[in-house]
């Protein structure tokens, strides 16, 4: 708190207020005049009065520094700031809550000593702090006020040429502008009704939000990718992140890619790009931001404090999808274990990260902080879940041993997520396993019996799909499920042949199988979605890879696959990826299915 020692200008303790910013070197009389600004009041419908403009410009000219005030909608001065000759620093307003569809309820009025336009910093502060208005007052050499230049935020759905007051706003060329500018005028001629302007803008923001519809409660997200490599590869990865977001029932509003020489350890993004992201999220009304990279706890905290939005990274999004899709007790255990292992090192003291998974935690122990309690509880829960996973693994091993004793061959369908594995299982066994055009539509493993030609019975497993950068904790948690693959006599590696990332998808699946020490199992490469491929593409897959090309939705294309599988099971030495020996013609309609699980 700043006090004055000038006995001729006594001020009661209640009237003395903080002067924020660069006050070093100011005289007591100047500090007192700055404090007196708190006593000014602007009529609510006016942006600024001639008297306040003159008072600001006189002090600013005398101290050769920018001077500013933040005024609420009732016209009262809430903050007084002093900057340098070229800029001014606004106070931290994070304590002030901003409701959805509303601005902050404060407008910033400050001086410009050189008569310049509103700067990019001014406009960024307007957007980042969600102020009602940003205005500058030109200061003449004689200390008198000149033109007032003002700008406000435009709702994200508006174009600048469609502004509320065409006579008052300068038109812009941008297709999606952020700011509307009032015509520069001297304070006495600035006759815009401020409350009407702000009310109209907020109504339009609310109207844009209401277009969601009362039943559409999905979160709105902006996707962000930061790369030090190829921008094209980052775009591909972001396209996949978009599919993940769609699978999580999110609405993707926009996506941003930044290429950097090296990642910013503090916020991943550079400061300029982070500011751009914040402005974009305000424009579009985003609820959360999803990063394509995994974030550290400190990065999440920094970005969250800057944006005031929920922050997710790629792993969290995948875990959320798994949590939504897990239906069986086994699946829920595996997902919760993966979530806890991911969250444990990221507990930073607030404890809020654990609220969804560990609600109802009891009181803390003697001498323990809340953070220590959360960590201990998380470790205890992880230990319990791992024991349950071991029990599941033991049960699966018992069933596998029983099948092996009966000498029933086991097939497992593996592949990139959304390649069509469940659809193929349904087509082969006439089952009704859930199959959707979404990533990770299948989480809980499914086994079905299939009778091949020549009266040979096999068990066929549908497994969880793989994806690039699959979280290690998720792989570890699903180890019991993936061990079903280990005892397989043959893996059907199903690939979406229509995907532009075919080679990448094959490489990812092969890499994960190697990490699981399953790379030595025999594999048959099968390309799905034949109906979306050209004749040349089909011929190329068959000729260069010795693969089978099918459409899981067209049973007439499955005969070649069934014949190849039969031959490979009967001739264990036969290379899976070479054209199979000529097999007898078999009517696939004779296949018999037992609907019970294996």
C-beta of residue 549 within 8 angstroms of C-beta of residue 538:
yes
CA–CA dist 127, 278 (Å, integer): 8
pLDDT tens, position by position, for the chain (598 residues)? 333 334 333 334 344 458 999 999 999 999 999 999 999 999 999 999 999 999 999 999 999 999 999 999 999 999 999 999 999 988 877 644 455 557 889 999 999 999 899 998 898 888 888 899 999 999 999 999 999 999 998 875 433 333 333 333 333 333 345 788 999 999 999 889 999 999 988 887 777 665 555 556 788 899 999 988 888 888 888 988 998 898 888 999 999 988 888 888 888 888 888 888 888 887 777 889 999 988 888 888 888 888 778 899 998 898 888 888 777 787 788 888 888 888 888 776 443 444 333 333 233 334 456 677 788 888 999 999 889 888 877 877 777 677 666 678 889 999 998 888 888 988 888 877 666 655 565 556 677 888 887 768 888 888 878 888 777 777 776 666 676 678 888 999 999 999 988 999 999 999 888 888 888 889 999 999 999 999 999 999 999 888 999 999 998 999 999 999 998 888 776 667 644 333 332 333 333 333 333 3
Q: Name 495's bridge partners.
A: 527
* 533 backbone φψ class: left, alpha, beta (φ>0; ψ -120 to 50): beta
CA–CA dist 374, 396 (Å, integer): 32
pLDDT at residue 361, rounded to an integer: 29
- 256's enclosing H/E stretch is strand 251-259
**Range list of H helices, 327-471:** 329-343, 370-405, 421-429
CA–CA dist 284, 220 (Å, integer): 9
Domains of the chain (ranges; CATH) run 7-210 (no CATH), 220-312 (3.40.50.11060), 323-387 (no CATH), 400-594 (3.40.50.300)
pLDDT at residue 535, rounded to an integer: 93
CA–CA dist 517, 330 (Å, integer): 23
| Cα→Cα distances 118→147, 154, 195, 318, 579, Å | 12, 16, 22, 43, 71
CA–CA dist 49, 322 (Å, integer): 58
Long-range interactions of 143-146: CB distance < 8 A, separation 24+: 143/57, 143/58, 143/61, 143/62, 144/54, 144/57, 144/58, 145/50, 145/53, 145/54, 145/56, 145/57, 145/186, 145/187, 146/57, 146/115, 146/186
Please classify residue 545 by burial: count the beta carbons closer than 10 Å to its beta carbon, then call 0-12 exposed, 13-18 middle and 19+ buried.
middle
Helix (H, G, I), strand (E, B) or coil at 348: coil
CA–CA dist 436, 415 (Å, integer): 15
Sign of CA dihedral 299, 300, 301, 303: positive
Nearest to 566 by CA among 454, 459, 484, 417: 454
Q: What is the DSSP string of 437-480?
A: SSTT---S-EEEEEEEGGGEEEEEEE-PPB-TT--HHHHHHTHH
Q: Name 415's bridge partners.
A: 494
Total residues found in the chain within this entry: 598
CA–CA dist 284, 157 (Å, integer): 7
Structure tokens at 399: 């069933």
pLDDT at residue 186, rounded to an integer: 94
Q: How many helices (H) and strands (E) does the chain have?
A: 16, 18
CA–CA dist 290, 223 (Å, integer): 5
- 195's enclosing H/E stretch is helix 194-210
CA–CA dist 411, 393 (Å, integer): 19
Burial state string for 302-323 with b = 16 or more CB within 10 A and e = fewer than 16: bbeebbebebbbbbbbbbbbbb
CA–CA dist 375, 351 (Å, integer): 9
Sign of CA dihedral 528, 529, 531, 533: negative
Helix (H, G, I), strand (E, B) or coil at 432: coil
| Chain mean position to CA 463 | 27
Contacts of 366 (CB under 8 A, 6+ apart): none
Q: Work out the number of other CB atoms within 10 angstroms of the CB of residue 99.
A: 10
pLDDT at residue 547, rounded to an integer: 92
Contacts of 547 (CB under 8 A, 6+ apart): 524, 525, 526, 527, 541, 577
pLDDT at residue 403, rounded to an integer: 65
């Amino acid at each position: 708190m700043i006090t004055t020692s000038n006995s001729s200008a006594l001020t009661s303790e209640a009237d003395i207020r903080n002067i924020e910013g660069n006050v070093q070197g100011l005289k007591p009389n100047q500090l007192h005049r700055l404090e007196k600004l708190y006593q000014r009041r602007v009529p609510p419908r006016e942006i600024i009065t001639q008297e306040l403009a003159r008072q600001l410009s006189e002090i600013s000219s005398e101290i050769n520094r920018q001077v500013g005030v933040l005024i609420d909608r009732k016209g009262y001065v809430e903050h007084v700031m002093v900057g340098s000759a070229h800029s001014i620093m606004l106070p931290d307003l994070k304590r002030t809550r901003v409701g959805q569809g509303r601005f902050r309820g404060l407008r910033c009025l400050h001086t410009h000593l050189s008569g310049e336009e509103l700067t990019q910093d001014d406009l960024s502060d307007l957007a980042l702090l969600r102020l009602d208005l940003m205005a500058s007052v030109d200061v003449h050499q004689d200390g008198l006020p000149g033109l007032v230049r003002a700008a406000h935020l435009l709702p994200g759905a508006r174009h600048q040429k469609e502004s509320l007051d065409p006579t008052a706003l300068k038109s812009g060329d941008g297709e999606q502008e952020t700011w509307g500018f009032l015509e520069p005028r001297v304070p006495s001629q600035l006759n815009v009704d401020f409350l009407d302007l702000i009310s109209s803008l907020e109504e339009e923001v609310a109207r844009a939000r209401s277009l969601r519809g009362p039943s559409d409660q999905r979160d709105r997200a902006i996707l962000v990718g930061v790369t030090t490599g190829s921008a094209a590869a980052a775009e591909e990865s972001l396209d996949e992140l978009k599919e993940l977001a769609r699978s999580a029932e999110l609405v993707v509003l926009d996506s941003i890619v930044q290429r950097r020489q090296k990642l910013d350890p503090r916020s991943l993004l550079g400061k300029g790009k982070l500011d751009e992201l914040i402005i974009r999220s305000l424009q579009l009304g985003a609820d959360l931001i999803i990063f394509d990279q995994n974030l550290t706890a400190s990065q999440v905290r920094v970005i969250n404090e800057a944006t005031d939005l929920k922050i997710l990274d790629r792993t969290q999004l995948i875990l959320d999808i798994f949590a939504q899709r897990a239906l069986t007790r086994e699946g829920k255990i595996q997902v919760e274990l993966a979530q806890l292992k991911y969250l444990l090192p990221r507990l930073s003291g607030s404890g809020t990260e654990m609220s969804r998974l560990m609600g109802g935690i009891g009181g803390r122990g003697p001498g323990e902080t809340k953070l220590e309690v959360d960590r201990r509880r998380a470790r205890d829960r992880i230990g319990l879940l791992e024991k349950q996973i071991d029990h599941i693994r033991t049960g699966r091993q018992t069933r596998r041993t029983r099948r092996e004793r009966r000498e029933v061959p086991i097939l497992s369908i593996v592949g990139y997520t959304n390649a069509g594995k469940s659809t193929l299982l349904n087509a082969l066994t006439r089952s009704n396993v859930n199959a959707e055009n979404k990533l990770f539509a299948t989480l809980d493993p499914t086994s079905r019996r299939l009778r091949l030609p020549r009266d040979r019975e096999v068990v066929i497993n549908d497994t969880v799909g793989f994806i690039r950068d699959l979280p290690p904790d998720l792989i570890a948690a699903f180890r019991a499920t993936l061990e079903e693959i280990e005892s397989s006599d043959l893996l059907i590696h199903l690939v979406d042949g229509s995907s532009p990332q075919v080679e990448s998808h094959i490489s990812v699946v092969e890499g994960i199988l190697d990490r699981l020490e399953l790379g030595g199992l025999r594999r048959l490469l099968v390309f799905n979605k034949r109906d979306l491929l050209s004749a040349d593409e089909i011929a190329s897959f068959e000729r260069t890879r010795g693969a089978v090309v099918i459409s899981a939705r067209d049973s007439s294309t499955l005969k070649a696959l069934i014949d190849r599988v039969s031959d490979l099971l009967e001739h264990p030495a036969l290379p899976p990826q070479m054209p199979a020996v000529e097999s007898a013609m078999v009517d696939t309609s004779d296949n018999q299915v037992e609907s019970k699980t294996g």
